[in-house]
Amino acid sequence: MTRFFLRSAKAACALLLCLLWGPALAATDAAEAIQPCLDCHDYGENAPAHQVLLGSHGIDGDPADIGARRGCLDCHGESAAHIDDPRRHGPDLSFGPRWTASGSAQDRPCLDCHLQDSASDWQNALHMVNNMTCITCHDIHTEQDRVLVASTQGQVCTTCHKAQKSGIHDLGAGGPENPPCSLCHNPHDHQEAGPRMAENASAGCTFCHDAGQMSSLAALNPRAGNFHQAVESGKRACLDCHQGISHAPEDSAPLLHPAPVRGRQVTLFYPGNATREWLTSGHPGSQPLRQGTECALCHRGDEAAMGASLAPDLERPWRQVGMAFSRTGDGLQIDLTWRGDSADQQLAMMWGDDDNTAFRRGGCFAACHDNKQGKASTILSHSSSTGTDAAMGGTRPGATLWTIDLASAEVAVSRLGPAAGDASGRTVTASVNKAGGEWSVRLLVSPSDPNAPMPLAGDQRYTFGVAMHGRDNPGREHWVSLPMTLSLSGQSTDFIVE
């Protein structure tokens, strides 16, 4: 009996020690596990590794809350090959900048924890359906995740939701004084604002308005007063009566995926000279760009603002060009019109098909964004020995460049990329007219031209970009469009040929 009690006492002591010291030992193990990560990624107090480890995803704090956390390993995996040779191998799960896993793989560690709370309906969320991932909006390697801070949340959301830049009731200039978007909208769900506001007693509206005070306003009829009292008690939502007054009209900003048209105005803007390396690693959209997102998804509608930002001293940092496409027998006719003067000297169009993944997503920028190179043809063919571009995705078989001299109406056609070279004699002809301050250019493309986007197949889509060169801004100091698409039919295109 005595032995039994002694064994029981020892067992109880061991259990007590585990309860007391277990979390601390787990934290010690985690600190040892991430040390190989910090050997490289701890390059100062501002290193992103510090921010994530000190935050809610780190291993510092109350041991009872930390539990079995392993810091970097929770999201990136053991990554033994990366630790052994970090220049050749990425982590088991990478979020960039050099290596990028698929969106579903990147979401997995987040959903392992958050599927039980904030992301419980993520699989049906509109953001997920539209190929967005958790890290499209969230960044845990910063001191404050901007999308979780009321005063900065709107900056993240309006990157895509441009119509909402005007803020609530067009009070966008108020900035932080506007309620955060998530008071009315649930970004992790598929529902509209109504159910969200019903759940939180219209918190987005009561951020500024006092429903209790409004229920007693003399100007209100008794029924409206009763409704405001019901809002205050959570039985009604403001949207039950006040529809369509929160933001700017639905059509006030360009659609993310516009309906195809035969012709419309296109904005060319003065481009920056960012390198391909910065585009795919340093700029805020580098992650979605590497995962397949096209430049136009975020930047469509911002061309004029980007031009003004990039060239504030330029008299015309952006230009409007009218474009229209039509069939002429088996050929293609392209009409371009714009207001300008004799300083406009050259017009250019660059073409690629859907097999050219990099060009389809980045257009002219996929060809020319490299300060170390002097010619677009050199840049576009600058790829690995396998002919692939890991940063922009897919193969780069090249593109076709048409250069129209506005003084002579001569067209130079050349191939860029692996088959780079002059293609003069190709059947692309131009007629140029200038009347007063109006320019018009008509291009006629023969269907026999192997460098032209003809013959157009019913299911084939072509990507193109437009650039304009002036006397005072030659070479890369031109105006350029975002990538656009052309096809015979279908809805997922900018222009359609009739």
Nearest of 304, 334, 322 to residue 264 by alpha carbon? 322
Per-residue pLDDT tens, the chain, 498 aa: give them.
444 444 444 444 444 434 444 444 455 677 788 888 888 888 777 777 877 877 778 777 666 666 677 888 889 999 999 999 988 898 999 887 667 788 889 899 999 989 888 888 898 888 888 778 898 888 888 778 889 988 888 888 888 887 777 777 766 665 667 788 888 888 998 877 878 888 888 888 888 888 777 777 766 667 777 777 777 777 778 877 777 667 655 555 455 556 788 999 999 998 876 676 677 666 777 767 766 677 787 788 889 998 898 888 888 899 999 999 998 877 889 999 999 988 899 999 988 877 777 677 777 766 665 444 444 333 333 333 233 333 333 334 467 889 999 999 999 888 776 555 555 545 789 999 999 899 999 999 876 555 555 445 666 788 899 999 988 776 667 899 998 989 887 777 889 887
Residue 394: both structure tokens together: 């897919």
Nearest of 315, 285, 278 to residue 300 by alpha carbon? 285
Q: What is the pTM (predicted TM-score) of this model? A: 0.64
Whole-angstrom distance, CA of residue 250 vs CA of residue 301: 14
Under a CB-based contact definition with an 8 Å cutoff, are residues 335 and 263 in contact?
A: yes
Sign of the Cα pseudo-torsion (130, 487, 369, 271, in order): negative
Question: In the 8-state DSSP scheme, what is residue 493?
Answer: -
Under a CB-based contact definition with an 8 Å cutoff, are residues 289 and 274 in contact?
A: no
Locus of tokens 């982590």:
91
Domains and CATH numbers, the chain: 21-101 (no CATH), 164-251 (no CATH), 263-496 (2.60.40)
Q: Are strands 484-487 and 495-496 parallel, antiparallel or unpaired?
A: parallel
Element (H, E) at 469: strand 461-470
Nearest of 294, 246, 282, 361 to residue 130 by alpha carbon? 294
Locus of tokens 């900003």:
253
Under a CB-based contact definition with an 8 Å cutoff, are residues 326 and 498 in contact?
A: yes
Whole-angstrom distance, CA of residue 319 vs CA of residue 269: 6
Peptide bond into 258 cis (omega under 30): no
